Amino acid sequence: MSRTLQLTEQLISRPSITPSDEGCLEMIAELLAPCGFVCERIDSGPDDFRVSNLWAKRSAAAAGAKTLVFVGHTDVVPTGPLEQWSSPPFVPTHKDGKLYGRGTSDMKTSIAAFVVAVEEFIAAQPQAPLNIALLLTSDEEGPAVDGTTVVVQALEQRGEPLDYCIVGEPTSVQRTGDMIKNGRRGTMGGKLTVRGVQGHIAYPQLARNPIHQALPALAELAATEWDRGNEFFPPTSWQISNMHGGTGATNVIPGEVQVMFNFRFCTESTAEGLQARVHEVLDRHGLDYELQWTVGGQPFLTTPGTLVSAVQQAIHDEVGIATELSTTGGTSDGRFVARICPQVIELGPPNATIHKIDEHVAVADIEPLKNIYRRVLENLAKSASNA
């Protein structure tokens, strides 16, 4: 059994459902300390939802060395019905060349690969001119308010620079390395309440139906072209997710209607600009309304450069494929790190079974992932030496 596979199994054996860490970070810190890492816990949150965060950094002897940070999460989503699993979700199980267990893809394999890649790299190049860090949290699958973003805020307050970031999210499709994320769309939700006047449905002249009033504005918003996207992102999308109105009776005009919607927006638009355009439409339609906004994350994009080149070369050298750059999918903790780090990419194993019953990863994908991470470290160190 490879060192990476062994560590992956050890992590899977710990039932670290959000926000519980179940000692994963302590185990990782114990592995990193002998490699010269200074390990710091930056836990956060209330007692009934305490989040575990680890910031571990090894500084190079070379002055002015740049910093690569590996970002990940030890928490996993709930298992779902246990009786539907073919094997216990927190008992690492091998079958037909696959490793089964909650967190195999998302993302304990990546964390194990981070750690072993770092161990091997430091053993081979202890004087490499590259700072290496790990930022791990137990609150990525949950609210994500006391996890990575808290550590990023602490680093920002210290003025601690980050130059490169690899998030271990499962980004691959068929085999490890066939796709990486070099950016993500932003996400912004709106909770719109349109007020009318409740009344009897037989006397509409004595009431004001907020649903009828809202529909033309909603139709205009749904038909709006917010932007046309760019070479990295699709156009910004606006979608209604929920709509609630009425008392439940069929003979009552409701007094208000509530509409919940979401933007997934690219770098061609800003949260502020989109908000202003929505308000303009609602105001023009003369609605009596209240609108609450929640910005879940800003879009970020890493254009081809030092980090992307190092990752592409590492993937090609290890598995012989040309990786695809993509910005599809939902959000990740990369959105927080991108606030203080100019180059952020996501790279991990195939994602076909994440969050599913019988989540698994092909054993044949595990060691190549570790080797790719190690090769990225080697490529960045070489680039720094040649600079």
Number of H helices and E strands in the chain, helices first, is 9, 19
Q: Which residue has the tokens 């999210």?
A: 169
Say whether 12 sits in a helix, a strand or coil. Answer: helix
Q: Tokens at residue 220, please?
A: 């205009």
| CB contact at 8 A, 111 and 370 | no
Q: Tokens at residue 15, please?
A: 């039932």
Cis peptide bond prior to 19, omega within 30° of 0: yes
Main-chain dihedrals φ then ψ at residue 256, nearest 5 degrees: -160, 160
Residue numbers annotated as active site: 75, 140
The residue ranges of DSSP E strands in the chain, in sequence order, are 38-41, 53-58, 66-73, 93-95, 98-100, 130-137, 164-167, 179-181, 183-184, 186-195, 199-200, 237-245, 252-253, 256-265, 289-297, 300-301, 324-326, 343-346, 360-362
Say whether 148 sits in a helix, a strand or coil. Answer: helix
| CB contact at 8 A, 238 and 194 | no
Q: Tokens at residue 84, please?
A: 């539907």
Q: Tokens at residue 95, please?
A: 């079958």
